[in-house]
């Protein structure tokens, strides 16, 4: 299936690319070295509707279609997975609010998110439960007109920088015993600590959260009590297609760097891009990226069509394929650089470290294979 971007989508791509090259690339190394969250750049990106572009215009977003959303993510990650990834991840949780949140929740929080004032976070994974979402142990018990939440969450994107969180907690037994609860983060009972020893995406905020007698009003239930697991499952296809776009972006960044270096580096009296061994590497890298990009866009088209079965299958296929290829491509980019690629003088070592996470979060490669097999 051939995908031709509309004129509007092409304009979106160019706008994000210009923003990335002008605002993100020049400071990417600095933010990575400091492991610093890019608050100011989040606000700058919001001026171009790049923060939570899925949110409708009535709440300050751009109301983009799924493929346009993937374009934004791809180009932000092409600029830098740390800073660009922070911007693209600021929306994580808005889908749940849009679909199941009460009007007051949307009116209070979505305009702040789209304006770049704060990201949102989703408390899903736990120290003992990652892929097995239904096994979560964080519990919420009723106390009058409140829920009292106790437990811990792990690997939570935006956990220390978000002003608002959706916490998934057990309110009953089995898959039908999980509930989504909305809470501000500046309240007693919510404690977040930044995880600062990550291999990559160091400018992104990742946290461990401790919930100790966190009190959440009954009115803050997102959707229905006991339906949180099923609500969450609806958004895994878009999330996985988004990770595929992330992988495409960082792989493209690595290829761009390899092409530039190979044209400048000389050995044996000629630039190394004239050697067939290097030419073949670059050709294979480019082919892997184009195939990954096409599969990601197919997933986006399936999501837009509303064909849930096809969307689930293609989203998992795209995440599996693109993430695996991104690690391969970034690895080869280092090889093209030789020893220079192994140090921080060039960005390819950072891209290699950053790419690795795409095989893990939002469902590991092994989980994606299970899902794909189930949908054959």
The reply to whether 7-114 and 235-374 are identical in fold is no
* pLDDT, position 130: 84
Tell me the fold of 7-114: Butyryl-Coa Dehydrogenase, subunit A; domain 1 (1.10.540)
State the residue for tokens 């972006």: 249
The helix/strand/coil state of 214 is strand
Q: Which residues of the chain have pLDDT under 70?
A: 1-3
- Residue range 120-226, CATH number: 2.40.110.10
Spatial contact of 275 and 349, defined as CB atoms under 8 Å apart: no
Domain extents in the chain:
7-114, 120-226, 235-374
* pLDDT, position 131: 86
The DSSP-derived string for 85-115 is HHHHHTTTTHHHHHHH--HHHHHHHHHHHHT
The helix/strand/coil state of 129 is strand
The helix/strand/coil state of 141 is strand
* pLDDT, position 270: 96
- Residue range 235-374, CATH number: 1.20.140.10
* pLDDT, position 288: 98
pTM equals 0.96
């Amino acid at each position: 299936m051939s995908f031709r971007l509309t004129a509007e989508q092409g304009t979106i791509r160019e706008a994000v690319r210009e923003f990335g090259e002008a605002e993100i690339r020049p400071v990417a190394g600095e933010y990575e070295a400091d492991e610093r969250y890019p608050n100011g750049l989040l606000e700058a990106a919001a001026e171009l509707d790049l923060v939570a572009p899925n949110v409708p215009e009535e709440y300050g977003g751009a109301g983009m279609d799924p493929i346009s959303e993937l374009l934004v993510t791809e180009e932000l990650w092409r600029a830098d997975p740390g800073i660009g990834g922070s911007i693209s991840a600021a929306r994580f949780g808005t889908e749940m609010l849009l679909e199941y949140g009460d009007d007051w929740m949307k009116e209070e929080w979505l305009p702040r998110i789209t304006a770049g004032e704060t990201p949102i976070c989703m408390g899903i994974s736990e120290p003992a439960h990652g892929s097995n979402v239904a096994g979560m142990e964080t519990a919420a018990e009723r106390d009058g007109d409140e829920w009292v939440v106790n437990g811990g969450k792990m690997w939570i994107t935006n956990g220390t920088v978000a002003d608002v969180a959706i916490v998934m907690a057990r309110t009953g037994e089995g898959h039908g015993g999980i509930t989504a609860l909305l809470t501000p983060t500046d309240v007693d009972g919510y404690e977040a600590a930044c995880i600062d020893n990550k291999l990559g995406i160091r400018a992104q905020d990742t946290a461990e959260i401790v919930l100790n007698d966190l009190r959440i009003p009954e009115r803050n239930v997102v959707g229905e009590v006991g339906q949180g697991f099923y609500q969450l499952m609806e958004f895994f296809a878009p999330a996985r297609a988004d990770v595929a776009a992330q992988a495409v972006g960082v792989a493209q960044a690595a290829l761009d760097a390899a092409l530039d270096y190979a044209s400048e580096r000389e050995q044996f009296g000629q630039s190394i891009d004239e050697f067939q061994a290097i030419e073949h590497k670059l050709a294979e890298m480019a082919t892997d990226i184009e195939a990954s990009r096409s599969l990601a866009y197919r997933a986006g088209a399936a999501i837009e069509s509303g064909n849930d079965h096809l969307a689930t299958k293609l989203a998992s296929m795209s995440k599996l394929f693109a993430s695996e290829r991104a690690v391969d491509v970034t690895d080869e980019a280092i090889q093209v650089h030789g020893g220079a690629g192994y140090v921080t003088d060039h960005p390819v070592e950072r891209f290699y470290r950053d790419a690795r996470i795409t095989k893990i979060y939002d469902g590991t490669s092994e989980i994606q294979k299970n899902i794909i097999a189930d949908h054959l």
